Each structure stands twice: as structure tokens, then as C-alpha cells.
Amino acid sequence: MIAVIMLASIFGLTLNELRGAGGIPLYSPDKNNTLVDMVEEIYLDQAIEAFEQGTPLFIDARPVEEYYAGHIDGAINIPYLKIKQNPGLYKFDIPIDRSLIIYCGSTECDVSKSLAIILIKKGYKDVTVFSGGWTEWFEHGFPMVQGGSDDSPAESPGIKVIFEIPGIVFLLIFLTIYTVFPKFPIIAGLRRFLTHPFCLLVLRVIMGSLFVYASIDKIINPKAFFEIVTNYHSLPHAAIPIFSVILPWIECLAGSFLILGIFSKNNSLVLVLLLSLFAIAIFAANLRGINTACGCFTTSNGGKADWGLILRDLLLIFAGIQILLGRYSYLALENVVGFLNFNTTISDRKNSNSVSDSDN
């Protein structure tokens, strides 16, 4: 585990330095901080007054799917997640002197401020952010438009909780029973099946491949990943640059070693811990109403960090637990090269000790 983190730190920090201006400043303050201070916020009564005047243009910064589900009447959609990587490639067909009011999901959403920064950099002067966002507008029943068919209901930001929270609770209960009561007949049979060498091979390849794939775009686009991590509001600001540089390499190295069968249990433990951290971060973001990109497999448009991702993380944690419980799997380098196999289980060690005692 320590070796993976050290290698990831070396690769990540070295590549970040080689990128020069294209890398993430690790120690300098965020240049956007001064621009954030320039962005003026307005509240619901001011937004209603501006709406009734009809002069400002409302801009919805949320993903296009959420925009079509329901948005402020007359608002246009500029999905920040699609333009954040290369804002210079996009042109906004909006007069430069137009008053703009940008909103996103809720008071905890920073996407509107991030889009405001891009527009300010492009020369727009009268840019404000409606801090209450779509949630506050929707809850007060002010004029809105729904995309799609006429009978499609407006989507509440928290409606998915109704369907996904029970699934999360069920999985947590199952994982607890699976771990605490291994001798139950059904649990014991399931364990024997899932820890079979062939099943462990399949789990290794699937889990490792997912993490390697997830790391590629983050390594290629570190600034975009840095911004996603920032929007979670889960880490101290000073720690975010280093975390954003090193984490993708931990995913890449641990996933690669897991596929090859090198220190399988150690690398599986690393990935299980990462998945646990991801699940906690997503859980906290949803509780606080933060509408941010997941940053899971892509930094461009990887979907919202919603409750459903916790279900996926729990399933992957379950897969990782099987690798930790298993004795060995097929096609693993650690089966051939002895010094790569520090991963024997406690039961393996007991068995080997009992054999040696009987020989004596």
C-alpha cells in the first residue's frame, strides 16, 4: 500500500512539474479566488424583481438533462460541465453588454460561480449569481418551463433519494451480515463461490480495469479534475492540488497491479479504501445539496455525483472484499514469483503453521 502511494506521488508530482503552466499550482493560491470575490450574488426577491423587469438574461448552468427537466422561464442553458475544460473553444451568442443572472441547483452549488468566472474572463461585466438556484425557484412555484413532453413532471433535485436510499440501506445490511456471520449456510456457500480462483480472477480484472480506465482522463486533464474535487468541499483548500495530482496515479497503479496479480490483497485494500472515501464524499455532497460532477470516469461530462453512485461504490467494495477474503486466483504473477506474494490470508498462515508443526 505504501509503495503504491509513493510511486503515485513520484509519477504524479513529476508529471505535474513537467507540464509547467499546464499543471496544477501546488503551493500558489487559486487564481480564480479574486474573480470569485468579484461575482455578486443575488437572492430570491432580487431574482424575482429582475425576472419581472425582463431585462436580464437568466442562464442555467446545470447539465442539459436537468435543464430540460425544468428551468426558469426564459432561461437559456450553458452547461458548465461541457465547457469548463476548453472555454476558449466556445462562443456565446450573447451581447457583451447584456445583464446576466446565472443559477444552478441550490445554494451549495458552485457551478454557477464557475460559469460566471468564465463569462467575466470573456469580457461580460454585468454578471450576477442567483444563489438560491433552481431549488428555491421551484419550491416557491415561480414561472418555469419543463422540457420534453408536456406531461413530464418537473424533476426535484432530491427525487432520486426515494428510489436509491433503500437500496443503499439494503446493501449496507447485507455487507454487515456477510462480514459478521460467515458461517450462515447461505453466506458460507456464497463465499465459497465468490472466492473461487476463477471468480477472483474475474473480479480482479473487472475492478482493476475500471480503476485504470477511471484514472486516464484525470491524468490527462488534471485542472478539470482539480475543479471537480474542489466542488465537493470535502478537503482543505491547501490539500486539494496534491490530492488531485496523486489520486489518479494511485487508481492507475493499484488497478494495474490488481489486474496483473501483483500484491493483489494489498492493492484491493487500497481500492476498497478509495471507494469508501468516494462513497462518503458523495454522501456528504448529497446531504448538503451540492450539485457537482462525479469525476468518476471522465472530467468532462461524467454525470452528477448522486445517490446512485453510492450503490455502485458499495458493489465494488463488495467485490474488493472477496479478493481480500480469497486465498489465491488464477493467472496472478504472485503465484509464480514468490516475493510478489505477501498476500497470504490468516487462514493460509494457520494452515502452513499446522503443517509444519505436524512435520515436527
* Domain co-membership, 42 together with 17: no
Distance CA 127, CA 101 (A): 6
| Residue 150 identity (one-letter amino acid) | D
**Does 107 fall in a domain?**
yes
Q: Regarding predicted confidence, which is higher, 92 or 81?
A: 81
Flag whether pLDDT at 215 surpasses 60.
Answer: yes
CB 12 within 8 A of CB 86: no
CB 302 within 8 A of CB 230: no
- Average pLDDT (216-231) is 88
The domain that contains 114 carries what CATH number?
Answer: 3.40.250.10
Distance CA 124, CA 116 (A): 9
Choose the final residue of a domain: 145, 172, 197. 145
Distances from the Cα of 57 to the Cα of 35, 143, 146, angstroms? 21, 14, 18
pLDDT confidence of residue 277: 95
Three-state secondary-structure class, residue 71: strand
* Domain co-membership, 136 together with 165: no
* Domain co-membership, 203 together with 310: yes
* Domain total in the chain: 2
pTM for the structure as a whole: 0.63
Average pLDDT, the chain: 81
* Domain co-membership, 77 together with 186: no
Looking up cell 508530482 gives 13
* Domain co-membership, 139 together with 205: no
Distance CA 82, CA 208 (A): 28
Three-state secondary-structure class, residue 251: helix
C-alpha cell belonging to residue 93 = 451568442
* Domain co-membership, 204 together with 328: yes
* Domain co-membership, 77 together with 120: yes
Looking up cell 516475493 gives 339
DSSP H/E element including 119: helix 111-121
* Domain co-membership, 51 together with 70: yes
* Domain co-membership, 323 together with 229: yes
Distance CA 150, CA 312 (A): 33
Tens of pLDDT, residue by residue over 252-304, are 999 999 999 999 999 999 999 999 999 999 888 777 656 677 888 888 755 67
pLDDT confidence of residue 163: 56
Tens of pLDDT, residue by residue over 102-111, are 999 887 788 8
| CB contact set of 284 (below 8 Å; sequence gap of 6+) | 232, 234
Kindly report which listed range (40-49, 122-131, 143-152, 175-184) carries the lowest average pLDDT score.
143-152
Choose the final residue of a domain: 145, 174, 198. 145
DSSP H/E element including 171: helix 161-180
Residue 267's domain spans which residues? Answer: 2-25+158-352
**Does 307 fall in a domain?**
yes
pLDDT confidence of residue 209: 97
**Does 357 fall in a domain?**
no
Choose the final residue of a domain: 114, 145, 176. 145
**Does 328 fall in a domain?**
yes
Confidence label for 151 from pLDDT (cuts 50, 70 and 90)? very low
Tell me what percent of the chain is helix, strand and coil, each rounded to the nearest 5: 60, 5, 30
C-alpha cell belonging to residue 340 = 510478489
Distance CA 321, CA 268 (A): 8
C-alpha angle with apex 261: 255 to 264, nearest 5 degrees? 70
| CB contact set of 165 (below 8 Å; sequence gap of 6+) | 307
* Domain co-membership, 131 together with 166: no
**Does 95 fall in a domain?**
yes
Q: Which residues pair with 58 in a beta bridge?
A: 101
Percent with pLDDT over 90 in the chain:
41
| Residue 136 identity (one-letter amino acid) | E
Tens of pLDDT, residue by residue over 50-62, are 999 988 999 998 8
